[in-house]
Amino acid sequence: MPDPNGFLRYGRQLPARRPVPVRIKDWREVYPPASDQLITEQATRCMDCGIPFCHDGCPLGNRIPDWNDLVRTGNWAAAISSLHATNNFPEFTGRLCPAPCEAACVLGIGGVDPVAIKQVEVEIINRAFDLDLVTPQQVGEPTGKRVAVVGSGPAGLAAAQQLARAGHAVTVYERDDAIGGLLRYGIPDFKLEKEHIDRRMAQLTAEGVQFRTGVNVGVDITAEALRAEHDAVLLACGALAGRDTPATPGRQLRGVHQAMAHLVAANRVVSGLATSTPIDAAGKHVVIIGGGDTGADCLGVAHRQGAAGVHQLDLYPEPPHSRDADRDPWPTWPWVLRNYPAHEEGGERVFAVAVQEFVDDGTGQVRAVRIAEVTVEKVDGRRILTLVPGSERELPADLVLLAIGFDGTEEQPLLDQLGVTRNARGAVDSRPDWQTGTDGVFVAGDMHRGASLIVWAIAEGRAAAAAIHTYLGGAGELPAPVNPASRPLAVR
């Protein structure tokens, strides 16, 4: 029986982050493991509500009250079993998900800090690996059916694991030199050390999943050949086409780069696959355009590379520090200021500004970014930006990183070869059964919904796997997300 007074006895608390002067000297994760006492107290704050709205906030339908109470009573084996029932990779979501479940926590009705669901989740999987509770699972009798999964991000890996456990022969194709997609080369190690990917890959390999790296499907192997070798194909290639500002004067200058180019190059150095990066912030004045997760990742990387100074620009006004119940009533995702660990490491955030020009130093190299303050108002659902007269100024910039979002999946020969189409958002069109317009070709993850959360990618991978299993005539049903229609986070 959960403790109904737990949230009254214990306040919300997270493990202390590693000290800034220490952590910016390396690439290790910011958060150390939580103590047993801390995580037990945090799990005790969960009341096991009669109607747990944390489920409503989670696209995977994680059984949050169940495993909170199992942690409260110290039953780690049962806790990881409950967590794995809905989430293939809690070590990823527990580190990277923004936790919409916490925004929907019932404690929020009374203005109380929500249960630290994300922290409990990551501690469950940490303990599970420490106690050797994460082992290869029994797979079903071979079905004789072969499935190709193109892309090895969280959507592709979740689908591959589900299908392999159902007895299908699964091969994952990855054009990069290592498995993991953006988890591997897009997410810095201070958020996700790559050992977490490697040990999960060992489990999938033991369960029969085959991995082929360095294969650009559509180039190194044609779609025709791929389909000839497999009974179904799942496209899970992500949404990597970065938004750009081609009309901004000076965009062509040296030193102006897409954020992902910076992050990928830095990750390859950290992994030991490269000795230097062509986009190095060391000793430079850096301007990051974009106030979201990717911008914060660039900020943390710039600190660790030794930037002389960093400005992070946001087009919109500074959000409030707490939920406005009139504007964002519980359990909706609130518009509030989100501070990432990188923000306490240094740099300056500048809100409500728009870039007017990348300024040339006379040699074709950027030397500054000219910005102007803006006001933003919504008219008929559209944002109207107005420049503030006389507000223009320059920020010194030797390196500019564009972290302004993604425009869907990249152009690929594979899509034309398969005959699939993309919509106005740059995502691949699909039917309700996750099939594209081409029979036997399915799509999931960011390639299907556009750039989104890792928890959505895993949910879509599981749902697509269930659809593929049915398409192949598989006996029984594969577990799909409990809550595939969960509300997406509001776009502002």
Examine the fold and report which residue of 100, 130, 160 is the final residue of a domain before the chain moves on. 130
Angle at 53 between CA 450 and CA 485, to 5 degrees: 35
pLDDT in tens, 59-100: 999 999 999 999 999 999 999 999 999 999 999 999 999 999
Question: Are 92 and 220 within one domain?
Answer: no
Q: Report residue 482's pLDDT band, with 50, 70 and 90 as the boundaries.
A: low
Give the rounded percent of residues in the chain with a pLDDT score beyond 70: 98
Examine the fold and report which residue of 370, 402, 434 is the final residue of a domain before the chain moves on. 402
DSSP string, 166-177: TT-EEEEEESSS
What CATH number does the domain containing 398 carry? 3.50.50.60
Q: Is the pLDDT of residue 388 over 50?
A: yes
Instruction: Report the C-alpha gap between 94 and 39 in whole angstroms.
Output: 14
Cα dist from 268 to 213, 274, 404, whole Å? 16, 6, 22
* Residues spanned by the domain of 275: 256-402
DSSP string, 324-379: -TTTS-TTSPP------GGGGGS-EEE-SEEEEEEEE-SSSBEEEEEEEEEEEEEE
Question: Are 54 and 191 within one domain?
Answer: no
Rounded to the nearest angstrom, the gap between the alpha carbon of residue 476 and the centroid of all alpha carbons in its chain is: 31
394 occurs within a structural domain? yes
Question: Are 151 and 234 within one domain?
Answer: yes
* Other Cβ atoms closer than 10 A to 160: 30
Q: Is the pLDDT of residue 297 over 90?
A: yes
Mean pLDDT across 28-53: 94
Mean pLDDT across 305-315: 98
Q: Is the pLDDT of residue 276 over 70?
A: yes
pLDDT in tens, 160-210: 999 999 999 999 999 999 999 999 999 999 999 999 999 999 999 999 999
The count of structural domains within the chain is: 3
Q: In the prediction, which pLDDT does 264 show?
A: 97
397 occurs within a structural domain? yes
Q: Is the pLDDT of residue 139 over 60?
A: yes
Q: Between these two residues, 55 and 106, which has the higher pLDDT value? A: 106
Cα dist from 176 to 79, 179, 227, 428, whole Å? 35, 7, 21, 21
141 occurs within a structural domain? no
Question: Are 290 and 156 within one domain?
Answer: no
Q: Is the pLDDT of residue 489 over 60?
A: no
Tell me the pTM. 0.95
Instruction: Report the C-alpha gap between 481 and 215 in whole angstroms.
Output: 30
Question: Are 15 and 79 within one domain?
Answer: yes
441 occurs within a structural domain? yes
Write out the two tokens for 186. Answer: 């897009």
Question: Are 362 and 283 within one domain?
Answer: yes
pLDDT in tens, 92-132: 999 999 999 999 999 999 889 999 999 999 999 999 999 99
Q: Report residue 483's pLDDT band, with 50, 70 and 90 as the boundaries.
A: low
